[in-house]
Amino acid sequence: MKTLATKISAVIAVIALLSVVFVSSSCNKDKTCHGKVTVVDTNGTAISGATVRLAAPSVSGDVVYDGTTDGSGMASFDVKLPAIFDVTATHPAYAGEEGVGVLRLDEPGKDAEVKVRIQ
């Protein structure tokens, strides 16, 4: 009888340990979508200081993220909910011109990039 109780206790301990490992590993996964937009001119030269807007329709209204490109022409975005975004890029030196594209941030924990040409 004692060995049966020991075996049952061992099985319960193993199940509990596996449950803890499974729960803790799934909680630590990166659920944020990471996107990068590079803005260039018609010659392919990076444009710093460009305004970049990500917009995606939602049931409760558009989801919008705004950013500004750095010295390498890149703007980075960390998005909590997966979506496919319309990208618009503008810069005061290119008045009346804009760059457009699509950024697919539909897989949490994954990176996505798009290059947008202002013309």
pLDDT at 19: 58
CB atoms within 10 A of CB 114: 18
pLDDT at 26: 47
Closest CA to 88 of 61, 64, 108: 64
pLDDT at 24: 47
pTM to 2 decimal places: 0.74
Tens digits of pLDDT across the chain (119 residues): 567 667 666 666 667 655 555 544 445 577 899 999 999 999 999 999 999 999 998 878 889 999 999 999 999 999 988 899 999 999 999 999 999 999 999 888 889 999 999 99
Cα–Cα distances (Å) from 1 to 12, 43, 52, in that order, read 17, 82, 71
CB atoms within 10 A of CB 103: 24
